Amino acid sequence: MLANCYNPLVEGASTCSHCGLAVAEVGLVERVPRDVLVMIKTKHGREARIVRSIAYGGLLLAMIGASAGLIFISGNWGIAAFIVILIGGYFVSALLANSLGDAWGYRYGQKGLDEDWQTFLAQRAAEPVEPIGHGERANA
Ligand SMILES: [Zn+2]
């Protein structure tokens, strides 16, 4: 069974461990609505967009820097600069994407999810889905 916030409940729980609301007050629901699943998928998309932007942006900068090295440094040093800048840029952009990108992406995704959740709650309050009651069909 799920609490009204869609947190799975332990058998016989009287309050939700996530939101703290009493099950007797808000009732139970049988399944997570499609809108909530779409919200979570959208959150993951937002997070991925930030991480990928940093990774591919860093790689693009590395390619530009490596090309500049090849153009402006003559001879074998130019080729060496190209290789070093390109490989170094790859690792730096991967490192930044996995550290800064993860943190920023999480915050950006969570902020969007919070906004979507508030909108969903307002819509649900306006046209509530009938909860299944206080455990009547919980054993079905
Ligand atoms: Zn809850």
**pLDDT of 98-110, one tens digit each?**
999 999 999 999 9
| Runs of H (alpha helix) within 1-140 | 23-26, 34-72, 76-96, 102-126
**133 CB-near residues (< 8 Å, 6+ apart):** 27, 28
66 touches 73 (CB < 8 A): no
Cα–ligand 1 centroid distance for 48 (angstroms): 27
What does the domain layout of the chain look like in residue ranges? Answer: 1-32, 33-126
User: What rounded mean pLDDT belongs to the chain?
Assistant: 89
Cα–ligand 1 centroid distance for 104 (angstroms): 27
pTM: 0.74
- CA dist 33 and 35 (Å) reads 5
Give the burial class of 43: count Cβ atoms within 10 A of its Cβ; 0-12 exposed, 13-18 middle, 19 or more buried. buried
Cα–ligand 1 centroid distance for 123 (angstroms): 18
Tokens of 90: 């790859």
Cα–ligand 1 centroid distance for 16 (angstroms): 4
pLDDT at position 127: 81
* pLDDT, greater one: 138 or 119: 119
